[in-house]
A and B are shown apart, each in its own frame.
Chain A
Amino acid sequence: MYDFEFVKPASLADAIAAMGREGAQALAGGMTLLPTMKQRLNQPDSLVSLNGLAELKGVSAADGVLTVGAGTTHAVVAATAAAHYPALAALAGQIGDPMVRNRGTLGGSLANNDPAACYPSAVLASGATIVTNSREIAADDYFQGMFATALDDGEIITAVKFPIPDKAAYVKFAQPASRFALTGVFVAKGASGVRVAVTGASEEGVFRWTEAEQALSGRFDASALEGLSVGADGMIGDMHGTPEYRAHLVKVMTKRAVAAAG
């Protein structure tokens, strides 16, 4: 990889300052960024490690909201969120592999917004709020297509607030090589109704399947989805699956998620 200046601030304020410099890029777990840099596809002047920021770490629940620090690793979410939001914990426990889960973070995943990443589906289906150093962004406004988000340059995600739903589940059909989601569906039934978010399938990245949400709002049962189908237009087609196949999987995974949510 190209060389860069490594900076590891001890406070969020220092991190924000460091991120304000020309050519600075944030480093969270590095599970995607570092392999990309090894291929010399990315050339920051400085990498600002967020791994020394205690204020970005931790999971807490209060008033029906689970707040997860952006620097919390998947492994910690899998272990500590289970008591409050089991579906989210289960999702975190399926990301990558144990070593990836020990480094990769929620904030890193959301900032990258890989179209096949697991976390965006949980954030969108939960109707969560992304908290940054400067503002709060609703999930519906945050995801803006493949690898695109509402974040400004230098903006750092500090936490995500998940309203805890009554029922929820995530079911993922893994791409056989990368183990990312070929199609993953997160279903949540909460105070604001039923939300269904799909990752891995669309060329636009994570999206809400609104027809399914409506059908499930009437009756939260897999059978409510019987007559629905997802169009193949705009679905990803590659060697691992055609657009038609992914569209089909959206429905199958949604049914399974509803069944798992109970």
Chain B
Amino acid sequence: MAKVTMTVNGRTMSAEAEGRTLLSDFLRQGLGLTGTHVGCDTSQCGACTVHVDGLAVKSCSVLAQDVAGAAVTTIEGMANPDGSLSTLQQAFQDHHGLQCGFCTPGMVMSAAALLAENAAPTEAEVRHHLEGNICRCTGYHNIVKAVLAASGQDVGKIGIAAE
């Protein structure tokens, strides 16, 4: 056991961690931040995505001790300072980009990383970027739409049957 300290959502936080403690478990059990979800054990589903020093990573495949001292952002740190939904979060609600909500934290974290480096991605770029985030509910349609909308692009014609 070692005491591990990191800056999580802007606050310095500490908890005990074994060598084998994964960042996802550290956040969920150690710090009580249960918004980060674990959907697989082979580093495929992306539900556990958080940002470590600004980069999106799968927290289920990172050891807590390996990122001691890092700045970590989780879904709990994504809303606006006043608690209202951020532009990206709001776009997910506006465009029904979530259903059961389980993959959603990872989707939001992953999409936020995309928009940080590519302010106006194409549909193909969004789909390619979200390759590491599995959603079983939405068929991705409204997720991709939400990300495009969050980047300020017009999504009004997407999926409209009558043309």
* Chain A in direct contact with chain B (Cβ < 8 angstroms): yes
Residues of A within 8 A of B (CB): 1-6, 8, 27, 30-31, 34-35, 37-39, 46-47, 49, 51, 75, 96-100, 102-103, 178-179
Q: List 29 A-B pairs, Cβ < 8 Å.
A: A3-B18, A3-B19, A5-B19, A6-B2, A30-B62, A30-B66, A31-B43, A31-B61, A34-B22, A34-B62, A35-B42, A35-B43, A38-B41, A46-B19, A49-B63, A49-B66, A75-B55, A97-B46, A98-B110, A98-B113, A98-B129, A98-B131, A98-B132, A99-B46, A99-B56, A99-B58, A99-B110, A100-B43, A100-B58
Interfacial chain A residues near B65, Cβ < 8 Å = 6, 8, 49
Contact B63 A6 (CB under 8 A): yes
B114 part of interface (Cβ distance < 8 Å) = yes
User: With A3-B19, A98-B132, A99-B49 given, is the CB distance from A27 to B56 under 8 Å?
Assistant: no
User: With A96-B132, A98-B129, A99-B49 given, is the CB distance from A8 to B66 under 8 Å?
Assistant: yes
Contact B63 A103 (CB under 8 A): no
Interfacial chain A residues near B46, Cβ < 8 Å = 97, 99
Contact B58 A47 (CB under 8 A): no
Contact A47 B110 (CB under 8 A): no
Contact B61 A30 (CB under 8 A): yes
Chain A, Cβ-Cβ closest to B48: A99
State in angstroms the CA–CA spacing of A84 and B63 once bound together.
33
Contact A103 B57 (CB under 8 A): yes
Residues of B within 8 A of A (CB): 2, 18-20, 22, 41-44, 46, 49, 55-58, 61-63, 65-66, 110, 113-114, 129, 131-133
User: With A6-B19, A102-B56 given, is the CB distance from A30 to B63 under 8 Å?
Assistant: yes
Interfacial chain B residues near A51, Cβ < 8 Å = 66
Contact A97 B57 (CB under 8 A): no
Interfacial chain B residues near A100, Cβ < 8 Å = 43, 58, 132
Contact B61 A34 (CB under 8 A): yes
Chain B, Cβ-Cβ closest to A33: B61
Chain A, Cβ-Cβ closest to B1: A3
State in angstroms the CA–CA spacing of A96 and B45 once bound together.
12
Smallest beta-carbon distance A18→chain B, Å: 13
- Complex A-B, nearest 5 residue pairs according to Cβ-Cβ distance, in ascending order: A97-B132, A6-B19, A102-B55, A97-B131, A6-B65
Interfacial chain A residues near B132, Cβ < 8 Å = 96-100
Smallest beta-carbon distance B28→chain A, Å: 15
Interfacial chain A residues near B44, Cβ < 8 Å = 178
Interfacial chain B residues near A39, Cβ < 8 Å = 41
State in angstroms the CA–CA spacing of A3 and B110 once bound together.
30
Chain B, Cβ-Cβ closest to A36: B42
